[in-house]
Each structure stands twice: as structure tokens, then as C-alpha cells.
Amino acid sequence: MEIKKENKLIGNLLKSGNVYKLKCEKCKSISVQISDDKQPDLVCLECGGVCKVL
């Protein structure tokens, strides 16, 4: 039952959320963030550096 709840949450975010492609300025990793926030979280999950939106 947990999987259905997660799929519903992900589906809703994909339909109404914002998708951001980010690149870390420190370690150069690329990530994709899906959020219902107006602005992405710019902290890199790999190294803690600052990301910029591509």
C-alpha cells in the first residue's frame, strides 16, 4: 500500500510541480529536482556546494 501512496505523490508532482535541472559549481554533478516550491533547493546533495539552474 505504501508504493501506491508514493506513486500518487510522484504523479501529482510531475503533473503540477516544477522540474529543475541543476549543476553544482563545486563538484560539477548534475541533478534533477521535482518540487512544488517556486524555487529549487540549491544545496548539492553530493558535496554540499551551491548549484545553479541550467
- Residue-level pLDDT at 28: 97
- φ/ψ bin of 8: left (φ > 0), alpha (ψ from -120 to 50), beta (otherwise): alpha
Please count the structural domains in the chain.
1
SS3 11: helix
Instruction: Judge if pTM exceeds 0.85.
Output: no
> Domain residues for 16?
2-53
- Average pLDDT of every residue of the chain: 86
SS3 25: coil
